[in-house]
Amino acid sequence: MANVTFMNVNKTFVSKESTVQALRNVNLELKQDEFVAIIGPSGCGKSTMLKIAAGLDVKYEGSVLLDGQPVTKPSIEKGFIFQEHRLFPWLTVEKNIAANLSLKDPAVRQQVNKVIELVKLSGFEKAFPKQLSGGMSQRVAIARALMHQPQLLLLDEPFGALDAFTRNHMQEALLDIWREHRMTMLLVTHDIDEAIFLADRIVVMEAKPGTIKEIIPIELQHPRTRVSTSFMDYRKRVLYALGGHEEMEPAYSI
């Protein structure tokens, strides 16, 4: 189980040149096995929230709890997936996934095989990252995060660098994994359709300072169809929450 709570979180970056309030009064509770997407303009504090939840940033006011315990450092029950896959180019797929564990250990070997199968990369165990497409590399990154059976998966624009076709496939793959191996998901995305396709709730943020503007529950059954009327209604609703059509950045246009 993984229940995540942000309570009155405030985060300010202070430098000689400027003071930026990255997060102001952020309150959010992720229920066990819930899929929550965060969307909002550049600089509204999305990545900062993820880093705090991961335990990568502990300099903030307020509290962040994982199953009631303060998050104080990164740990294997919190998987993190970045926009770029961050694989080691000199290691094979299986060694990237095993990381510092030995593949000679039968339990490690078994778990590596399991997560490779989960991300549908069987047959590519011995391949090197340069032999993989962008989507396949990101699948390896997901497998690496799943290796330790995390209760919480934090995803920072994981499919942002992929073409639209591959991105749709990856969203479906992620959904399959989430539905089969329930875990709590916190996804940062700029893609409204991705948020609606995947999430139970969408947290819409605004910048300067970074605050939660609205939380939109997505009450659509899976599998969701991107062209359904109800999907399009949600798209309008999220666009509206983000600030209306006129002011949208190109990434938000439909």
Smallest separation, CB 205 to ligand ATP (Å): 7
Token pair in block for residue 41: 């303009």
Residue 243 is given by DSSP the state: T
Q: Which amino acid is at 30?
A: L
| # binding residues, ligand ATP (CB under 6 A) | 13
The 200-219 site mask, x for binding ligand ATP (CB under 6 A), equals ----------x---------
Closest CB to ligand ATP among residues 94, 156: 156
Q: Which of 13, 88, 90, 240 contacts ligand ATP by CB under 6 A?
A: 13
Smallest separation, CB 42 to ligand ATP (Å): 3
Smallest separation, CB 12 to ligand ATP (Å): 9
Whole-Å CA distances, 89 to 78, 111, 148, 241: 24, 22, 22, 41
Q: Which position has the token pair 């399959």?
A: 176
- Over 78-143, what HEC string results? EEEECCCCCCCCCCCHHHHHHCCCCCCCHHHHHHHHHHHHHCCCCCCCCCCHHHCCHHHHHHHHHH
Which residues in the 33-72 window bind ligand ATP by CB under 6 A? 40, 42-48
- Contact residues toward ligand ATP (CB under 6 A) are 13, 15, 20, 22, 40, 42-48, 210
